[in-house]
Amino acid sequence: MKTGDVFSLAFRTIRANRLRTGITVAIIAFGIMALIGIVTAIKAMNQKFSESFSTMGANGFTIRFKERNIRIGGNNSELKVSKRNNRKEKTSSLGRPITVDEAELFVQQYQFPAHIGISLFAARDAIVNNEQKKTSPNILVFGGDENYIALNGYEFFNGRNFSRQEVQSGSNVVILGYDVANKLFKDRLTKAVNSIVRVNGLPYRVIGVLASRGSSFGISRDNLILTGYKNIRRNFSSNVSATIGVMTDDINQVEEAMGEAEGVFRSIRKLSTTEDSNFVLDRNDSIAEKAMNILGSLTTAVIVIGMITLIGAAIGLMNIMLVSVTERTKEVGLIKAIGGKSKTVRHQFLTEAILISILGAIFGIVLGIFVGNLFSMVLSTGFVVPWKWVAYGIVICTSVGLLAGLYPALKAGKLNPIEALRYE
């Protein structure tokens, strides 16, 4: 029997047993769908992380007084972005905030060619209003200097940046995030500049509106306002820690710049050579890197779960093929009686098993990509296709079909033709 005949017979057998084939294909398809779907969703999350942090600049870093925690998916999954040498700091050693005076002294003493900015976080529940409208009490308030906009990758929709004089004098001037401006001024965003708004009851003159940066994981990045850091000290809490941002001209200079920054700031903090640093240096791209490492671990867990599912599918396929051997004993006997060889019978049963697995793979891959991209739509990322895992899925399912059909094929090939023809 020729190879084409083997394939033809295998297809006819599969079509003749639609219910049995459909159940087996569904088992394999759901296993592959879970694997491909979650991998697609994780790839979409990776893409979103890259987009979210790309604006921060890979050639920059920050100096802060404690580790920054990013929570993903609840309280149990936590990402800690720590010092560049990954040393574990004691909680007590990171307990003294960075004062504005220390930050300003760093700006004066740091001689490495770089752009330096000072910022303060003031509130996350501020209310901003003008004469007509008022925001919800969920506005983030940041204080910065004239370098804050450039260091954090913002662009202007309208208006201008802070002047150095406005920052140093603590003037009541403010730059509105796009969502805040849209809430207060709607279609009149161009008229927001030079208007007066109130932040928690205090009057501020609007000097600019930031361009929209969209949202990350459903959280808006435009629901904020910016003012000078010395204004924050005067009008908000004075106990918040300052953050120092540094951006070099060349990404290859970042490590050198971080080393010099650590030495300068240790001197400012009056630390001896035997004391651990009571501050943390974060590379801007380390947050995304650490987050992607967590997603990589999640991918590994998904692969393990998916493989367990496929093992169950392989066992189910093997049982169905064994039942098929029993049901088709007379057919096998007839093939052998007219000159068919054991090799041909084995090939037929193996081909059926592999075809069923590949059908399951195709349906599972299509469903998996569709389900995964539903998540990418929520994150507002582009259409994602994990081509590598599509290829892996086909290879894995082919292997599953081969292994699951091997024993039934060998059993069918060993049947005695005379006994098989007499089988009832």
| CA distance to 319, 321, 415, per residue, from 324 (Å) | 9, 5, 13
pLDDT of 146 strictly over 90: yes
**CA atoms of 347 and 357, how far apart (whole Å):** 15
Top mean-pLDDT range of 42-51, 82-91, 353-362: 353-362
pLDDT at position 72 is 42
Task: Give the strand pairing for 202-210 and 173-176.
Answer: parallel
Please state the domain extents for the chain: 3-51+291-421, 59-284
pLDDT at position 372 is 83
Among candidates 311, 396, 296, 359, which has minimal Cα distance to 39?
A: 296
Q: How many CB atoms within 10 Å of residue 337?
A: 12
pLDDT at position 168 is 94
pLDDT of 399 strictly over 90: no
Q: Looking at the DSSP assignment, which residues form a beta bridge with residue 60?
A: 247
User: Is the separation of the CB atoms in 57 and 388 below 8 Å?
Assistant: no
Instruction: Specify the amino acid at residue 4.
Output: G
Question: Which residue has tokens 């908000």?
Answer: 236
Task: Give the strand pairing for 280-283 and 128-129.
Answer: unpaired
Task: Give the strand pairing for 128-129 and 196-199.
Answer: antiparallel
Q: How many CB atoms within 10 Å of residue 407?
A: 14
What is the enclosing helix (H) or strand (E) of 424? none
For the record, the structure tokens of 410 come out as 């060998």
| CA distance to 39, 70, 82, 285, 311, per residue, from 299 (Å) | 6, 19, 23, 21, 18
User: 104: which residues sit within 8 A by CB, 6+ positions away?
Assistant: 118
Question: Which residue has tokens 């929209």?
Answer: 212
Top mean-pLDDT range of 90-99, 158-167, 322-331, 367-376: 158-167
User: Model pTM greater than 0.85?
Assistant: no
Among candidates 300, 299, 306, 318, which has minimal Cα distance to 396?
A: 306
pLDDT at position 76 is 39
pLDDT at position 178 is 93
**CA atoms of 267 and 127, how far apart (whole Å):** 40
Cα torsion angle, 311, 314, 316, 318, sign: negative
pLDDT of 418 strictly over 70: no
Among candidates 216, 178, 169, 176, which has minimal Cα distance to 198?
A: 176
Per residue in 209-251, pLDDT (tens digit) is 999 887 665 567 899 999 999 999 889 876 788 999 998 887 7
User: DSSP assignment, residue 76?
Assistant: T
**CA atoms of 284 and 247, how far apart (whole Å):** 9
Per residue in 238-285, pLDDT (tens digit) is 678 899 999 888 777 888 999 999 999 999 999 888 888 889 888 866
